Structure 1
Amino acid sequence: MVVFLKPSLFLYNSVLLGSLPVFVGFAGLEFLDLSNNRLGGAIDLELDGLVGLRSLNLTLNNFTGSVPTRPGKSKVLKELRLTMNMFHGIIPVDIVGCRNLTLIDFSVNNISVPDRIGELSKLEVLILSSNSLSGEIPRSLRNMTSLTRFAANSNNFNGPIPAGIPKHLRNLDLSYNSLSGSIPSELLSPLNLQIVDLSNNRLNGSIPTALSPRLVKLRLGSNSLDYVIPTAAISTLQHLTYLELENNTLTGLISPELGYCQSLALLNLAQNQLSGSLPVELGNLSHLQVLKLQFNKLAGEIPIQIAQMSKLSTLNISWNSLNGSIPPSVASLKNLINMNLQGNNLSGSTPENIGSMTSLMELQLGENQLSGRIPSMPITLQIALNLSSNLFEGHIPVTLAMLTGLEILDLSNNKFSGEIPLALTQLGALTQLILSNNQLSGEIPKFSSWVFVNTSGNEGLTNSATPSTSPESKKKGKPVSLTIVLWAVAAAIFAVGGIAIFLYHY
């Protein structure tokens, strides 16, 4: 697209090819946008004639070489966007001479940053994501008193987070680096701070208790943070929407005070060492859409108040030590798509009204002590139905054949008996049927070639291709074909080998 609005030239998304032309006669040009084209090569003197340039956008091209030293020799340049190119080497020190710069976006290149970057005292936005930045974060950043957004995620920064991060900061993203040490006590406290992402680093120590009252998103997952969650401070954050503290070594209880964070849409405390019971006050989180508490040490029963989370779409409290029965009230969660209760000590029967969960696509109930009749399941199930390693017995219910969109059905390690329902062969979306280690008998129905069927550990089952071994056939002594021998050998190897190709996600 070509747009010329004096003193602006917009040639973004115009399928331009080749190298950058020399701009002659454009001394009055203030805004130049060449983004989303196929321009390439190094940039040398091509921009020197743009002495009045205020904004340059070269995003999404194939430029190489070093970053242009003084774009247009302009002393009024305010915005410089070079995102998603192939620039490399250190950011030229001459860039520091552009003292009017308020925005720099050098993300997705292969560059490194000079220590003097902090001399750009008017800079408001600095984006350095997805480069080859290494070493420590420049301490000169503290001099950028106007900085409101700093993103340096997906780099190779190491060492501690420097103290003195600018007080006007609103958005801080240092995720996916190798930062270590503790989180500076004042880092999360600037009054304007709204978004913080320090996930996927090597940070340790406790979570600071001084938190900005305007925090909307706090992501500290996949570090080595310990001690307890500072719930007293977090509970005062009325704007907090995302709280992600997963994959740390946090201890203590899930405090009832979390129920005061009524703006929460996502709460992820998975893979820690949290203990105690699920507080009933979590039911007050009426806006919550995702609740992940898997791989902790939680005990007690699932509170019926969980049904008050009417917007919940993902519920994962697997691999804890929860006991008691599954409350029938969970069936009122009409927006729930994924429910994972696997790996607990839940007992009793599956709620009879579970079939009314009309949005449910995945149900994981394996590794519990559930028993009784298997009720009609939601016909919306698609990803997986896992009832493995429980105490179910009797015939496999033919109603499972109504789950026409289901891809994975796991009924292994129970006490199911009788024949495999022929109707299961009509499940057109099925890719895995796992029936191993039950008490099934009869002939194994013929499933489509793309369906992996595991029936090992059922002594009473026979394959439809297995030849008859009746006394009459032995007496006649008819020769056995090579095909039948190979089928029998394969079946024997399969029964002894017992392979498993499916890993459930949590």
Structure 2
Amino acid sequence: MATSTIACLEQEKSSLLRFLAGLSQDGGISKSWGNGTDCCVWEGITCSGDGVVIEVSLASKGLKGQISPSLGDLTSLSHLNLSYNSLSGVFPEELMSPSSITVLDVSFNHLKGHLQELNSSVSDRPLHVLNISSNRFIGELTSITWEKMRNLVTINASNNSFTGQIPSSFCISSPSFAVLDLGYNQFFGSIPPGIGKCSNLRILKAGHNNINGTLPDDIFSATSLEYLSFPVNRLQGTIDDALMMKLSNLVFLHLGGNRFSGKIPDSIGQLKRLEELHMGHNNISGELPSSLGDSTNLVIINLHVNKITGELAKVNFSNIPNLKILDLSANYFTGTIPESIYSCSNLTWLGLSFNKLHGQLTEKIENVKSLTFISLSHNNFTNITRALYILKRLRKLNTVLIGGNFMHEAMPEDEAFAGLENIQVLGINDCALTGKIPNWLSKLKKLELLLLRNNKLSGPIPTWINSLNFLRYVDISNNSLTGVIPTSLTKMPMLKSDKNSVHMDQIVFQMPFFLPPSLHYRTSTAVPKMLNLGNNKFTGAIPMEIGDLKELLSLNLSFNNLNGEIPQSLSNLRNLMTLDLSSNHLTGEIPSTLENLHFLSKFNVSYNDLKGPVPIGGQFSTFLSSSFAGNPKLCSPMLVHHCNLAEAALSSPFSTKEYVDKVMFIIAFSLFFVIGVLYDQTILSRYFLLNRLR
């Protein structure tokens, strides 16, 4: 928008047109930037009253190409925003040097190289805000540059590849300095001293780097801090109780994914403004301080994967009415679930898995009507029937993980679980439950992930399995299920086509969702489509129709009593990454068409009765011999039994007839070649002999 009444200067128009000329894609701004018009009315350009360009704002315009240094010739330019484009190349030094720019934002582009260091002779710069985040910058952030930025308020250099140590001059040079974000880089070394001199520092973020050492004492002198975040580094040591209470303005504390030890400081309760406490994945021990309940504004408490002991009842959770996420999983808590947790009516996420809790769920959990996620797995809870009857009353629940409890109880078969219809993720695994796969599961029409592994369930797979239109992850391994693999299993809509995913209500987990072996997911749709029937008592042949499950990424039929041949139709599963058919009674040959599975990274057919040559094309050249062990009739250069000519012919992608024809051609060609050479040698010998006689 133009604010001037005078046309822009020709020199300034020329600088802008040179910038435009350096773009390979201009996002359509060239329609506005005409040579014969006033540049003050051009799209994204703002001028002062005397026709001087003071702002260039071209965020999210689809620009591609390089940033021309000509923008540095706009001597009155104060605001430059080129964020959220696809600009590449180096960042012009000329844009760091102008004495006019106060706000510079080139975030979310593809800029690379070093950030040019200012000459020590350059006078102080007026820059207030610098955002260079989400690019491809490398090298160090040298102190000399920042010593010339005495008016800096905000630096965001996150999500790049900067290295070296964090400069120590930010606070010394800029008394108004308030925001520093260096997250997702490759900084190393310790946190530099001097942070405490930033009397106005409100946000300090440097997560996901390689920073080590302890939190320096003077960081607690930055009493204006509201946001302190150093997750996923190598920080260690304890957090001083007396120092922590000095950060009375703290709203967000994230020190997860480090090596902190000792106890959570008692003074945590004096941080009355604290809303989020993240200290998961550390070595914190001791008991929860009862003072935690005094931080009455807490919304998130994340202390998972530590060594915290004692009973949860020590904390009065009823004093924390705004609590939405409580994740205390993978610790050593004992006792029962305190009823004060059930007074947190805003709670949406409750993670208490992998502890030593016991007892039964009580009806008071019905007060937590906002609960969408509950994980109580791997504790010592009892009475699964009661637990399910209570949980069904929480109508907003979409994820229920209660495996590793209720040991040796019976799987409830009562079909009166009306209320679980909104469940999308259900885990009742590792319980040694007896009984059958219950029919009430057929009512969970939104179910996406079903985990029933490591139980003692018997009987067949129910035929209604394909009526669950969104089921995409099935793990019923390590049970005692019998019968043949039903064709209904090969008609599961989400495993045949992803068209149904359009109608899915995707879960966006508020905290990472864990699935073995050690993978964390943020959304339910990110979980790979899997069918695991391993370690049961299934009989019969692998149905040919299994080749219809074209969306499968993982198929495990190992440790069963399956017989017959490996169906050729498996080669239709072009997305397959894992295929395990080991420890069955399969016969025949390994289909050579499986070479077409280009994403296959894990393959196992060991301990069957297979014969013939092992395919050698595609991914098969990467599989270890152990993938084929226990099949003495298989042959391959990598196995003890090498293939003879007839067997090698069978391993060819051509038919046997084509292979024999090719061999005969090669033999005939070789024979004619040898005869030809002998003939030539005979003729030449006679020629030289006649010449000698003459």
Partner of residue 20 from structure 1, selected from 168, 178, 192: 168
Instruction: Choose between structure 1 and 2 for higher RCO, CA contacts under 8 A separated by at least 6 residues.
Output: 1
18 and 304 in structure 1: CA distance in 2 versus 1, 3 angstrom threshold: closer
Q: CA offset at residue 65 of structure 1?
A: 3.4
- Cα displacement string for residues 26-55 of structure 1 (whole angstroms, at most 9, x for unaligned residues): 4433333344462644554x1344323332
Q: Is the 8 A contact 2:191 2:211 kept in 1?
A: no
Kindly indicate whether residue 128 of structure 2 is the aligned counterpart of residue 4 of structure 1: yes
Q: Which has the higher helix share?
A: 2
Aligned residue number for residue 546 of structure 2: 354
Of 214, 227, 241, 1:65 maps to: 214
With over 3 angstroms needed to count, the CA separation of the structure-2 counterparts of 1:324 and 1:58, relative to structure 1, is: closer
Shift of 1:94: 2.9
Q: Deviations over 1:322-377 (max 9, x none)?
A: 23332211111254343222333334443342222212344333444445666444
Distance 2:445 2:420 in 1: 10
Q: CA deviation at 1:121?
A: 2.0
Give the match for residue 59 of structure 2.
Answer: none
Check the 8 A contact 1:70/1:98 in 2, yes or no: no
Whether contact under 8 Å (2:220, 2:246) holds in the other structure is no
Asked if 2 retains the 8 angstrom alpha-carbon contact of 1:43 and 1:68, the reply is no
Give the alignment partner of residue 134 of structure 1, picking from 251, 270, 285. Answer: 285
> Deviation of residue 403 (structure 1)?
1.5
Write the distance in 2 (CA, Å) between the matches of 1:133 and 1:253: 37
2:396 is paired with a residue whose SS is: coil
Structure-2-length-normalised TM-score: 0.57
Number of residue pairs the alignment of both structures matches: 440
1:288, 1:303 → 2: CA distance?
Answer: 15
* Alpha-carbon distance, 1:222 to partner: 2.8
Which residue of the other structure, out of 291, 294, 313, is the alignment partner of 1:143? Answer: 294
SS in 2 for 1:169: coil
Q: Which of 288, 296, 315 is the matching residue for 2:447?
A: 288
What's the Cα RMSD here?
3.3
Deviation at 1:397, TM superposition (A): 5.0
* Structure 2 Cα separation of the partners of residues 195 and 238 of structure 1: 14
What is residue 410 of structure 2 aligned with on the other side?
252
CA distance in 1 between partners of 2:330 and 2:555 (Å): 32
Q: Note the C-alpha offset of 1:151.
A: 1.0
Query: Once the two structures are aligned, what percentage of the paired residues are identical?
Result: 24
Partner Cα distance (2:244, 2:380) in 1: 37
TM superposition shift of 1:100: 2.5
The yes-or-no answer on 1:265 pairing with 2:424 is: yes
Matches within 5 A, 1:104-503: 104-111=253-260, 112=262, 113-161=264-312, 162-165=314-317, 166-188=320-342, 190-209=344-363, 210-211=365-366, 212-228=368-384, 230-250=387-407, 251-254=409-412, 256=415, 260-336=419-495, 337-371=529-563, 375-379=567-571, 380=573, 381-386=576-581, 388-390=583-585, 396-397=588-589, 400-404=591-595, 405=597, 407-410=602-605, 412=607, 420-422=611-613, 424=615, 428-429=619-620, 430-431=623-624, 432-434=626-628, 436=630, 444-445=634-635, 447-449=636-638, 453=639
Structure 1 CA distance, aligned partners of 2:541 and 2:181?
Answer: 63
Following the alignment from structure 1 to structure 2, what is the Cα–Cα distance between the partners of residues 259 and 142? 36
Deviations 1:382-402 (A, max 9, x none): 422416335x5xx5156x332
User: What is the CA distance between 1:378 and its match in structure 2?
Assistant: 2.0
Q: Give a deviation string over 1:381-432, Cα, whole Å, max 9, x none.
A: 5422416335x5xx5156x332223653426356x7xxx2336455752434
Q: Deviations along 1:284-317, whole A, 9 cap, x unmatched?
A: 3333332110111212321111112233332121
Contact 2:241 2:267 in 1 (8 A): no
Q: Which residue of 1 aligns with 2:202?
A: 54
Change (3 A) 1:365 1:265: same
Matched to 2:325, the amino acid is: N
Q: 1:140 to 1:282 in 2, by over 3 A?
A: same
Name the amino acid aligned to 1:268: G
Do 1:88 and 1:110's aligned partners in 2 also have CA atoms closer than 8 Å?
A: yes
* C-alpha distance 155-315 of structure 1, shift in aligned 2 (>3 A): same
Distance 1:20 1:87, change over 3 A: farther
Given that 1:334 and 1:358 are in contact with CA atoms closer than 8 Å, whether structure 2 keeps it comes out as no
User: Alpha carbons of 1:25 and 1:384: their partners in 2 closer, same or farther (altered >3 Å)?
Assistant: closer
Secondary structure (helix, strand or coil) at the match of 1:90 reads coil
Given residue 252 of structure 1, which amino acid in structure 2 is its aligned partner? Answer: A
Question: Structure 2 unaligned runs (5+)?
Answer: 1-106, 108-114, 116-126, 130-150, 496-528, 645-694
Structure 1 residue 267 displacement after superposition? 1.7
Q: What is the aligned partner in structure 1 of residue 81 from structure 2?
A: none
Cα distance in structure 1, aligned partners of 2:559 and 2:417:
29
| CA positional deviation for 1:142 | 1.0
Using the size of structure 1 for normalisation, the TM-score is 0.76
